Structure 1
Amino acid sequence: MIIDMPSTTTTAVAKKLIKLRQEGGAVALGRVLTLIIVTDEAATTEAIDAANVASREHPCRIIVLASSTTTTGVDAQIRIGGDAGASEVIILTGPAAAFEHADTLIMPLLLPDAPIVAWWPREAPANPGKDVIGSMAHRRITDSYRSTDPRATIRTLARSYRPGDTDLAWTRTTIWRGLLTSTLDQPPFEPVTKVTVTGQDDHSSLDLLGAWLGEELDCEVEIVRTPGAQAVTAVTLTRPSGDITLARPTGKIAVLSQPGQPDHRIALPVRQLHECVAEELRRLDEDEMYGEVLTLGLVRVAP
Structure 2
Amino acid sequence: MIIDMPSTTTSQVNAKLVQLREQGGVTTLGRVLTLVIVTDDGQKTEGAIEAANAASREHPCRVIVVARGAKRAAARLDAQVRIGGDAGASEVIVLRLYGPLAEQGASCVVPMLLPDAPVVAWWPSEAPPSPAEDPIGRLAHRRITDSAAEKNPIKALEQRRKSYVEGDTDLAWTRLTLWRGLLASALDLPPYERVSDVVVTGEADSPSTELLAAWLAVSLKASVQRKKATQGEGIVSVRLERRSGALTLERPDGKVGTLEQPGQPARRVALQRRSVQDCLTEELRRLDPDEIYEMTLKGLDKLNKGRSAANGAKTASAARRAPRKAPARKPKAAAAKGSS
> Could you say which TM-score interval applies, normalised by the shorter chain?
over 0.9
Aligned residue-pair number: 303
Q: Does 1:169 align with 2:172?
A: yes
Structure with higher RCO (Cα < 8 A, 6+ apart): 1
Structure 1 residues 216 and 68: alpha-carbon distance in aligned structure 2, compared to 1, 3 A threshold: same
For residue 132 of structure 1, what is the aligned residue in structure 2? 135
Secondary structure of the 2:135 match is coil
In the alignment, which of 121, 126, 133 is matched to residue 118 of structure 1? 121
For residue 45 of structure 1, what is the aligned residue in structure 2? 46
Structure 1 residues 108 and 243: alpha-carbon distance in aligned structure 2, compared to 1, 3 A threshold: same
> Could you tell me how far 1:231 is from its partner in structure 2?
1.3
Secondary structure of the 1:124 match is coil
Secondary structure of the 1:133 match is helix
- Cα RMSD between the aligned structures? 1.7
Amino acid at match of 1:188: P
Secondary structure of the 1:117 match is strand
Distance 2:240 2:70 in 1: 49
> Could you tell me how far 1:155 is from its partner in structure 2?
0.5
Structure 1 residues 94 and 26: alpha-carbon distance in aligned structure 2, compared to 1, 3 A threshold: farther
Amino acid at match of 2:119: I
In the alignment, which of 265, 269, 285 is matched to residue 268 of structure 2? 265
Distance 1:200 1:238 in 2: 21
Which structure 1 segments of 5+ residues have no match?
Answer: none
Show structure 1 runs of 4+ deviating over 3 A: 25-28, 296-299
Amino acid at match of 1:64: V
Question: % of aligned pairs identical?
Answer: 53
For residue 32 of structure 1, what is the aligned residue in structure 2? 32
Q: Is the 8 A contact 2:215 2:299 kept in 1?
A: no
Q: Summarize deviations over 1:61-109 as a string: whole Å, max 9, x none.
A: 0000011128531111111000001100001112363143322221111
Between Structure 1 and Structure 2, which shows a larger proportion of helix residues? 2
Please list, as runs of the form range in 1=range in 2, the aligned pairs for 1:132-211 lying within 5 A after superposition.
Answer: 132-211=135-214
Amino acid at match of 2:145: T
Q: Is the 8 A contact 1:206 1:232 kept in 2?
A: yes
Which structure 2 segments of 5+ residues have no match?
Answer: 309-340
Amino acid at match of 1:65: V
TM-score, normalising length from structure 2? 0.86
Structure 1 residues 227 and 2: alpha-carbon distance in aligned structure 2, compared to 1, 3 A threshold: farther
For residue 61 of structure 1, what is the aligned residue in structure 2? 62
Greater CA drift, 181-190 or 27-36: 27-36
Q: Is the 8 A contact 2:232 2:253 kept in 1?
A: no
Distance 2:210 2:5 in 1: 44
Distance 1:197 1:74 in 2: 48
Q: Is the 8 A contact 2:199 2:240 kept in 1?
A: yes
> Could you tell me how far 1:283 is from its partner in structure 2?
0.3
Structure 1 residues 225 and 185: alpha-carbon distance in aligned structure 2, compared to 1, 3 A threshold: same
Amino acid at match of 1:32: V
TM-score, normalising length from structure 1? 0.96
